[in-house]
Amino acid sequence: MQTQRRSFLRKMFGSLAAVTGIGLTANAKSNPTEEKVVGNVVYDQEVPLFSGNTKLGNLVFIAGKGAHFQGDIKSHTDHVLKELEKELILAGSSMKKVLKVTVFLNDIADYQGMNEVYKGRFGDKPPTRTTVAVAKGGVPGDSLVEMDCMAYI
């Protein structure tokens, strides 16, 4: 188990080093021939705007997902988590493989309601998480919450 964890961490940091160009240790091997793979590309007037997911090595980065319909924080959070899960599966990962989540709330007063729906959705070993309330203007598209994440494959 410890060896698997070290191997995974070496691969993860190797992938990050390849992306950033930063060498982490002499033992962290990265494959300079690895290519970034994008999926579920969103276009604006036929020009690529952003990807729903991007993969490099064994890492996958999922773009922010929002809920663009009338509802409360609980219905929006449930929708967003389901959308994250769909994108993770499309990229070859799962909710249990998520390493980091960032939560953007339109109103920090919704923190407790968001947590009620969020808890348990990533299995018994939840990812690290950052939660912030956005400044003026709110979350794009009138969503009460938006989330993005990073996972492994």
Tell me: do 60 and 122 sit in the same domain: yes
The residue to which tokens 């191997």 are assigned: 7
Cα→Cα distances 122→4, 76, 132, 149, 151, Å? 20, 17, 19, 11, 11
- Whether the per-residue pLDDT at 13 is higher than 70: the answer is no
Counting the structural domains of the chain, the total is: 2
DSSP state of 118: H
Tell me: do 20 and 65 sit in the same domain: no
Read off the pLDDT of residues 86-140 as tens digits, 9 standing for 90 and up. 999 999 999 999 999 999 999 999 999 999 999 999 999 999 999 999 987 788 8
Tell me: do 54 and 115 sit in the same domain: yes
Domain coverage including residue 11 = 1-34
Tell me: do 76 and 11 sit in the same domain: no
CATH of the domain at 111: 3.30.1330.40
Tell me: do 70 and 134 sit in the same domain: yes
Tell me: do 88 and 134 sit in the same domain: yes
Burial class (CB in 10 A: 0-12, 13-18, 19+), 37: middle
Read off the pLDDT of residues 24-54 as tens digits, 9 standing for 90 and up. 444 445 565 677 777 767 666 776 677 888 9
Residue 142: the pLDDT is 84
Q: Which of 46, 44, 39, 96 is nearest to 63 (CA)?
A: 39
Cα→Cα distances 148→5, 54, 60, 95, Å? 24, 12, 11, 12
Tell me: do 49 and 90 sit in the same domain: yes
Tell me: do 87 and 141 sit in the same domain: yes
Tell me: do 79 and 145 sit in the same domain: yes
Tell me: do 92 and 21 sit in the same domain: no
- Are 147 and 81 in contact by the 8 Å Cβ rule? The answer is yes
Give the predicted TM-score (pTM) of the model: 0.74
